A and B are shown apart, each in its own frame.
Chain A
């Protein structure tokens, strides 16, 4: 979440709740939105690392508001994040390890593992189909996130089939 918050702060200084709202607005309901506590914990860490700084802004008839802004060091760190090549998303190799190792130790047979995993992927796909129906059609970002997740699941299914062909 660190680079996300820093990127939002590079646009303009903001307080924690505004950052949460901005994330929700951008990703819609496609991505789990962090709770306000997580946002403040992350901001606290960024502050400790000198990447953001906080000022108290006085408000009439209300307690002071803590507004965060990006420091020069924060800007540099954000530039590095943008410029460096991006690692692929999480590779779920845990299943593959099970598939290779479990039969050796007699813990499970491959066909059972593959069948269970296929059903799991299909259930996730159903979840995504249902999620896509709830997304505001104007929210291209959220829809692309769902499409990306779908394509990952397609690759997972294809890989499962390859494993079945070659290991059975």
Chain B
């Protein structure tokens, strides 16, 4: 059997707020197999961002273990984490974190170039991703010239530049209108069909609807974890299950 893409053992994060300890993640065991699409849900403050940041090595754990593709990751130093991310993890931050003094195109191409892609490969991949997200004509802009929703899509394009085997995303549609959300959904669906593993935090019903598994957090603990089936076993669902037209 191949190792899970992500495996955490009793993962804990306690922030220190001055002298006050703030337990944000309290003993999470999460195992995700290759190709799964997992939606992490839960109220604000339940530890969702902290969890995915730890999975991406962007926040150090307090205790517990993180294994990625069978490799112990929580004990890595920062440069080893950076190398690991470059090779197989794409991360979409809630607040984008684009490089301010680089163009949109360079922001998206950089990860591919760092990972050893040729300039031509990096450019083609960038053109494809920006095209899919409706951002082709923003390629030469600086991040500061973009609206929030545009920056968010650039952040997604950057995260996907290396075709990461694991995509981690923290509310990747939080700033998008419904049209742009549709582009993002289409791309995420494609990433999933290509067999990449996706773990994303979301409140967005449409995004969560793409997932085959939901993990619900509450107060830093997993309170629900299960696959999402179809609601109706009969083949033809309609909106009548949700809204009833009067009459």
Contacts and interface: CB of A to CB of B under 8 A. Distances in A.
Contacts of A120: 231
A123 B239 contact: no
B146 interface: no
A128 B81 CA distance: 39
Contact of B238 (A32, A119, A168): A32
A157 B243 contact: no
A103 B203 CA distance: 26
B1 interface: no
Given A123-B228, A127-B232, A150-B206, A118 B214 contact: yes
A116 B72 CA distance: 34
Interface string A129-168: 1110000000000000111111011100110010011001
A123 B205 CA distance: 10
A145 B209 contact: no
Given A126-B230, A127-B237, A164-B218, A145 B243 contact: yes
Interface string B161-205: 000000000000000001000000000000000000000000111
Contact of B205 (A1, A3, A4, A121): A121
Interface of B: 39, 41-43, 178, 203-206, 208-211, 214, 216, 218, 223-224, 226, 228-232, 236-247
Interface of A: 1-4, 29-32, 86-87, 89-90, 111, 115, 118-131, 145-150, 152-154, 157-158, 161, 164-165, 168
